[in-house]
A and B are shown apart, each in its own frame.
Chain A
Amino acid sequence: MLALTLILIPLIGSLVLLLLKGSSVSSSKNTALVVSLITLAIAIYAFTTFSPQSTIGVKYSWMKDLNINFHISIDGISLLLVLLTAFLVPLIITSTFKHTYKNHASFYALILLAETALMGVFMARDIFLFYFFYEAALIPVYFIAAIWGGKDAPRITFKMFVYTIFGSLFMLVALVYLYMKGASADIDQLATTAKLLSPNAQNLLFWAFFIAFAIKMPVLPFHTWQPDAYSESPTPATMLLSGLLSKMGVYGLIRIMLPLAPVGVANWGQFGMILSIIGLIYGSIIAIQQNNIKRLIAYSSFAHMGLMAAGVLSGNINGIQGALLQMVAHGVNAVGLFFIVKIIYDRTGTRDLSALGGITQKTPALSIYFMIIMLGSVALPLTNGFVGEFLLLKGVYDKNAWLGGFAGLTIILGAVYMLRLMQRSMFGESNDITAKFKDVSGSEVAVLLPITAIVLVMGLFPNVFLKITEPAVNSILQMMK
């Protein structure tokens, strides 16, 4: 029941918002915030009562004659991502408080709808339910990005939409195929079916899944939609995309691809890792040369996702655990960074790095927040990025030392582009544009403070999170044997 409320509450909230269309801007904002906070409270309650032995979940018949069920359940992996979603959505909503969007009720309703679908993705245990939510999550975000985005948004977000749907259709073929073979839509049961398939079929399954999830994350060479979409979308949509929707891709790799195409992963996983790591280096190098700060963060996201994909594809416990931890860390950091970009843009009207500088003198508070989040992003010890990245590199290294070496470049390259961003925007002499930079306001602190707190808490106590996911990761590794 607890699991179901996590889906229902945002859903009901979004319907209420749609029905109260005529209400004032502040009431839509507050309703959305309250709903997302209730969801967060439930998620935290689930976290405190969670034990790996007991499963929280429900199973209703959805299509009786086809044996397809509405089956949701929370294990450690799900819990981590549910927490991430529940934590980020209120922050994303708060981050919009200074802005008044036209058709505000629909805007917030769509954010809550996206949360509903994300919760569904992270808890679904039935392949078709997973697919259903996986696709459903994209629709609200597409509309947010396209309607409230920049001038070029309709074209760019449309590319994103078609591209990702095209990818997930491959997954649909694979799922239907597995379902036909296994006469069941339950992921755990299908894992046993998958083992009986021929290596050839397994390879095809691997590619179907890999393309679908690689487009979503994205991983090289399927990333072409991402930088444009991230930079043209309004910031809340960018936050949803980078903080949460990209995590559906990694989650899919762990939850769907590893158990359902284990032989395929064994045969082709290394190739996927090579792609991911090339993407990582390529993304980092472009990020180093970017002057548009939003695009810079977009490329850094792309680089980080590459490392996570490589970690999962390594198929060992370190890689997967690292990826899980890094998903949370990157989700939090990306939202924080995009928010800081938004703050800078709102105040100065530019995203051009060369036009900025000296913001520290005007608002030391902002640069402290920025510094902490930035350090999390470059994986300094004692911040949230460190443990995840370390485990990821260990996982990749265990699988293939050469790849591990190349993946290790992320530490250096990441530091280069992030420090460059920090230095050029925050430090130095202030100029005409940044001279009147206002200090951070209350609602902005309300977003930045929880994020920086999590950056430090996760860096100091990574074990809290690692312990939750470990049994679930082990059981997935067991399924692959």
Chain B
Amino acid sequence: MYPILVLSVTGLVTLFLGFLKSKKILLPASLLFVAIAFLSNFIDWNAPGLYFYDMLEASNLSIVFSSIILLSAFLVMALSKGFLDDEHAHPAEYFAILQFSLVGAIMMTNFQNLIMLFVGVEILSVSMYILTGSDKRNIRGNEAALKYFLMGSFATGIMLFGIAMLYGANYTFNISDARTLLLQPVTDVRPVFLYVGVTFLLIGLLFKVSAAPFHFWTPDVYEGAPTIFTTFMSTVVKTAGFAAIYRILEVSFSPMYNFWWVMIVTMALLSLFISNITAVSQNSFKRMLAFSSISHAGYMLLAIVGLNNKSGDSIVFYSLAYALATISAFGVLMIVSKDRLVDGRPNENIAVLNGLSKKSPFLAAVLAISMLSLAGIPLTAGFWGKFYVFTDAASRGHIWVLVIAIMMSAVGIYYYFKPIIAAYMKEGEGENIRLSAFYKIILGFTTAGSILLGLFPDLLRELL
């Protein structure tokens, strides 16, 4: 709850810092602001309660979700160091927008009222539309931004429509009250508004987390946006989206499980199928990670398919494991592709990683561990992430879902190993990569996190 206040203020401060001559202060200042927000997050720890006339609720789960969001944002911002060297960049505006978008993301984790959910989604989305197109000279970035904006606003419209219908059905925006109503026995059939409302609301949210069949924007937008914002999108937006989906379904609509699970399971399996099969044939590392992001949406939906009192923990774990690995992977790509230009754009093919183990053993190790984690191989956090969502799905008795998901994760191994093979077993050109200590610390942190959580998953689970 407090991070919302902190970030709203610091976002404005950051805008004003932009008037200073030296832009050097912006990055440390923004990092400091996010760190403050991160700490302020824990004021409400173990002190659950409703705020702002029952608009927001602070609970430990929502605090953990917002912590993951803030942590990812911190790491992504830290990686944006090189991005500032670009003379055309407007760092003050971008850092401010990033902070504002975090306000939206955090609202999505602790809303108690559907209006707040809508406001949160909008704040986050509008920020992302801008950031996607932030590299003005990149025509693909512009296309991506426009595409994202058009499709995103449709999705938001549908979601708003759903919220309106839900109001029509329940006469309330409060999600706990909606649940109480659902639990009351009815003699008559429930209004059809309710079902349409739930469906539309979910469609809106699933669009944001890029679950199939609402994923068509993802590859183009991920590829077109500057890598730094792609990272932001695939970690912060996804975590926030899943926090919201979980919250709305768990708090409000869990009595309607038999209605919505069919929809969720279809989307989970579709996401897994489409993304994994398509990712196999990708040559661009960034596009491959875009499809990987769709597939991880599918895995995380499995936790919702098996909704139980542990599902929230599973999603938390998965989000963190996924965020750490994704930041590592994109971080490596950013560093490696920066100086390897093709037609004036950074070369983002998998081939750019060729021979990385010779050029920089550290980056190669970071890349390998992040790929292993995304593929869900034991010793890494990604394995336990998958394990938890699989057990969730199995706990509701959906063993067949599990079998399909596991087949797809075997397909996943195939393409996640392509970058590893490129880095370790292919000969590459170019000089050795010198890495500043700053990048080493950030990437070392994400990698160590992946391994630590892979060995001691209870480090995080104990907290919940």
Interchain CA distance A112-B390 in the complex, whole Å:
31
Interchain CA distance A139-B395 in the complex, whole Å:
30
Name the distance in Å between A154's Cβ and chain B's nearest Cβ: 4
Beta-carbon contacts of B435-458 to A below 8 Å, as 1s and 0s?
Answer: 000000000000000000000111
Tell me whether A176 and B403 are in contact (CB under 8 A): no
Tell me whether B413 and A135 are in contact (CB under 8 A): no
A135 partner residues in chain B, CB cutoff 8 A = 377-379, 383
Tell me whether B462 and A64 are in contact (CB under 8 A): yes
Which positions 117-161 of chain A face chain B at CB distance < 8 Å?
A: 128, 131-133, 135-136, 139, 143, 146-147, 153-154, 158, 161
Task: Indicate the member of A139, A158, A169, A170 with the most B CB atoms within 10 Å.
Answer: A169
Interchain CA distance A57-B284 in the complex, whole Å:
49
Tell me whether A139 and B377 are in contact (CB under 8 A): yes
Tell me whether A161 and B461 are in contact (CB under 8 A): no
Task: Indicate if A25 sits at the interface (CB-CB under 8 A).
Answer: no
Task: Indicate if A166 sits at the interface (CB-CB under 8 A).
Answer: yes
Name the distance in Å between A60's Cβ and chain B's nearest Cβ: 10
Tell me whether A173 and B458 are in contact (CB under 8 A): no
B410 partner residues in chain A, CB cutoff 8 A = 162, 165-166, 169
Tell me whether B417 and A161 are in contact (CB under 8 A): yes
Tell me whether B413 and A162 are in contact (CB under 8 A): yes
Tell me whether A131 and B462 are in contact (CB under 8 A): no
Tell me whether A64 and B421 are in contact in the complex, defined as CB-CB below 8 angstroms, given that A135-B378, A139-B372, A170-B406 are known contacts. Answer: no
Name the distance in Å between B151's Cβ and chain A's nearest Cβ: 34
Task: Indicate if B409 sits at the interface (CB-CB under 8 A).
Answer: yes
Task: Indicate if B27 sits at the interface (CB-CB under 8 A).
Answer: no
Q: Which of B399, B406, B458 contacts A169 (CB 8 A)?
A: B406
Interchain CA distance A65-B372 in the complex, whole Å:
26
Name the distance in Å between A73's Cβ and chain B's nearest Cβ: 20
A464 partner residues in chain B, CB cutoff 8 A = none
A176 partner residues in chain B, CB cutoff 8 A = 387, 390-391, 394, 402
Beta-carbon contacts of B358-391 to A below 8 Å, as 1s and 0s?
Answer: 0000000000000010000111000100010011
B425 partner residues in chain A, CB cutoff 8 A = 146-147, 153-154
Tell me whether A165 and B421 are in contact in the complex, defined as CB-CB below 8 angstroms, given that A64-B462, A173-B399, A177-B394 are known contacts. Answer: no
Which positions 171-226 of chain A face chain B at CB distance < 8 Å?
A: 172-173, 176-177, 179-180
Task: Indicate if A45 sits at the interface (CB-CB under 8 A).
Answer: no
Tell me whether B377 and A165 are in contact (CB under 8 A): yes
B377 partner residues in chain A, CB cutoff 8 A = 135, 139, 165
Task: Indicate if B340 sits at the interface (CB-CB under 8 A).
Answer: no
Interface SS, A side: helix
Interchain CA distance A154-B399 in the complex, whole Å:
34
Tell me whether A180 and B394 are in contact (CB under 8 A): yes
Task: Indicate if A412 sits at the interface (CB-CB under 8 A).
Answer: no
Beta-carbon contacts of B392-408 to A below 8 Å, as 1s and 0s?
Answer: 00110001001100110
Task: Indicate if A62 sits at the interface (CB-CB under 8 A).
Answer: yes
Name the distance in Å between A35's Cβ and chain B's nearest Cβ: 20
B413 partner residues in chain A, CB cutoff 8 A = 161-162, 165-166
Tell me whether A64 and B391 are in contact (CB under 8 A): no
B461 partner residues in chain A, CB cutoff 8 A = 63-65
Interchain CA distance A131-B379 in the complex, whole Å:
11
Task: Indicate if B310 sits at the interface (CB-CB under 8 A).
Answer: yes
Interchain CA distance A128-B458 in the complex, whole Å:
14
Task: Indicate if B424 sits at the interface (CB-CB under 8 A).
Answer: yes
Tell me whether B458 and A62 are in contact (CB under 8 A): yes
Task: Indicate if B154 sits at the interface (CB-CB under 8 A).
Answer: no
Tell me whether A154 and B372 are in contact (CB under 8 A): no
B171 partner residues in chain A, CB cutoff 8 A = none
Task: Indicate if B414 sits at the interface (CB-CB under 8 A).
Answer: yes
Interchain CA distance A63-B464 in the complex, whole Å:
12
Interchain CA distance A67-B462 in the complex, whole Å:
13
Interchain CA distance A133-B456 in the complex, whole Å:
14
Task: Indicate the member of A64, A161, A166 with the most B CB atoms within 10 Å.
Answer: A166
Tell me whether A139 and B391 are in contact (CB under 8 A): no
Q: Which of B310, B372, B414 contacts A162 (CB 8 A)?
A: B414
Beta-carbon contacts of A36-79 to B below 8 Å, as 1s and 0s?
Answer: 00000000000000000000000001111110000000000000
Name the distance in Å between A165's Cβ and chain B's nearest Cβ: 6
A179 partner residues in chain B, CB cutoff 8 A = 391
Tell me whether A158 and B421 are in contact in the complex, defined as CB-CB below 8 angstroms, given that A64-B458, A166-B410 are known contacts. Answer: yes
Beta-carbon contacts of B73-105 to A below 8 Å, as 1s and 0s?
Answer: 000000000000000000000000000000000
Interchain CA distance A162-B411 in the complex, whole Å:
8
Tell me whether B421 and A154 are in contact (CB under 8 A): yes
A153 partner residues in chain B, CB cutoff 8 A = 425
Interchain CA distance A170-B404 in the complex, whole Å:
10
Q: Which of B313, B378, B402, B456 contacts A131 (CB 8 A)?
A: B378
A180 partner residues in chain B, CB cutoff 8 A = 391, 394-395
Q: Which of A66, A147, A172 contacts B406 (CB 8 A)?
A: A172
A131 partner residues in chain B, CB cutoff 8 A = 378
Tell me whether B391 and A146 are in contact (CB under 8 A): no
Interchain CA distance A161-B425 in the complex, whole Å:
15
Which positions 331-364 of chain A face chain B at CB distance < 8 Å?
A: none
A66 partner residues in chain B, CB cutoff 8 A = 391
A136 partner residues in chain B, CB cutoff 8 A = 378-379
Interchain CA distance A172-B377 in the complex, whole Å:
12
Tell me whether A146 and B406 are in contact (CB under 8 A): no
Tell me whether B458 and A63 are in contact (CB under 8 A): yes
Minimum CB distance partner of A65 in chain B: B461
B406 partner residues in chain A, CB cutoff 8 A = 169-170, 172-173
Beta-carbon contacts of B272-287 to A below 8 Å, as 1s and 0s?
Answer: 0000000000000000
Interchain CA distance A61-B378 in the complex, whole Å:
18
Minimum CB distance partner of A155 in chain B: B421
B414 partner residues in chain A, CB cutoff 8 A = 162
Beta-carbon contacts of B97-118 to A below 8 Å, as 1s and 0s?
Answer: 0000000000000000000000
Name the distance in Å between A103's Cβ and chain B's nearest Cβ: 8
Tell me whether A146 and B378 are in contact (CB under 8 A): no
A143 partner residues in chain B, CB cutoff 8 A = 424
Interchain CA distance A158-B462 in the complex, whole Å:
37
Task: Indicate the member of B378, B424, B457 with the most A CB atoms within 10 Å.
Answer: B378
A128 partner residues in chain B, CB cutoff 8 A = 387
Minimum CB distance partner of B393 in chain A: A176
B407 partner residues in chain A, CB cutoff 8 A = 169
Name the distance in Å between A346's Cβ and chain B's nearest Cβ: 23
A64 partner residues in chain B, CB cutoff 8 A = 458, 461-462
Tell me whether B417 and A169 are in contact (CB under 8 A): no
Name the distance in Å between B115's Cβ and chain A's nearest Cβ: 35
Tell me whether A146 and B399 are in contact in the complex, defined as CB-CB below 8 angstroms, given that A62-B458, A135-B378 are known contacts. Answer: no
Interchain CA distance A60-B456 in the complex, whole Å:
12
Q: Which of A65, A132, A170 contacts B378 (CB 8 A)?
A: A132
A165 partner residues in chain B, CB cutoff 8 A = 377, 410, 413
Minimum CB distance partner of A176 in chain B: B394
Interchain CA distance A64-B458 in the complex, whole Å:
7
Name the distance in Å between B357's Cβ and chain A's nearest Cβ: 8
Task: Indicate the member of A139, A147, A153 with the most B CB atoms within 10 Å.
Answer: A139
Q: Which of A146, A173, A177 contacts B421 (CB 8 A)?
A: A146
Which positions 413-427 of chain B face chain A at CB distance < 8 Å?
A: 413-414, 417, 421, 424-426
Chain B residues near A (Cβ < 8 Å): 310, 313, 372, 377-379, 383, 387, 390-391, 394-395, 399, 402-403, 406-407, 409-410, 413-414, 417, 421, 424-426, 456-458, 461-462
Chain A residues near B (Cβ < 8 Å): 61-66, 128, 131-133, 135-136, 139, 143, 146-147, 153-154, 158, 161-162, 165-166, 169-170, 172-173, 176-177, 179-180
With A61-B458, A169-B409, A177-B394 already in contact, 6 other A-B pairs whose C-beta atoms are closer than 8 Å: A63-B458, A132-B378, A133-B378, A147-B424, A162-B413, A173-B399
4 smallest beta-carbon distances between A and B, as pairs: A154-B425, A135-B378, A166-B410, A169-B406
Q: Could you list 22 A-B pairs, sorted by A, with CB under 8 Å?
A: A62-B457, A63-B461, A64-B461, A65-B310, A65-B461, A128-B387, A135-B379, A139-B372, A143-B424, A146-B421, A146-B424, A147-B424, A154-B425, A162-B413, A162-B414, A165-B410, A165-B413, A173-B390, A173-B402, A176-B391, A176-B394, A179-B391
